Amino acid sequence: MLAEDDIDGLLPQTQCTRCGFSGCRPYAQAIAAGSADINQCPPGGAATIAALARLLGRAPLPLNPANGTEAPPLVAQIEEDVCIGCARCLPPCPVDAIVGAHRQMHTVLVELCTGCELCVAPCPVDCIVMVPRAQLRAAARAPSAAENRTRFHAHGQRLAAQAAERAALLSDRKRSARTAD
Domain ranges of the chain: 2-67, 72-181
* Torsion angle of the four alpha carbons 46, 29, 141, 82, in this order, in degrees rounded to the nearest 10: 100
Per CATH, the architecture of 2-67 is what?
Answer: Orthogonal Bundle (1.10)
Q: Which residues, in sequence order, are CB contacts of 79 under 8 Å at separation 6+? A: 127, 128, 129
Let me know: does 79 contact 127? Beta carbons within 8 Å.
Answer: yes
Residue 181 has pLDDT above 70, yes or no: no
pLDDT of residue 2: 62
The C-alpha atoms of residue 164 and residue 49 are separated, in whole angstroms, by 38
Assigned CATH class of 72-181: alpha beta
Let me know: does 44 contact 12? Beta carbons within 8 Å.
Answer: yes
Beta bridge partners of 168: none
User: How does residue 175 score in pLDDT terms, banded at 50, 70 and 90?
Assistant: confident
**DSSP of 56-72:** HT----PPPGGG----S
How many other β-carbons are positioned within 10 Å of the β-carbon of residue 155? 17
Let me know: does 113 contact 96? Beta carbons within 8 Å.
Answer: no
pLDDT of residue 1: 56
How many other β-carbons are positioned within 10 Å of the β-carbon of residue 148? 24
* pLDDT, tens digit, 9 for 90 and up, residues 17-65: 999 999 999 999 999 999 999 999 999 999 999 999 999 999 999 999 9
Distance of CA 102 to the CA centre of its chain: 21
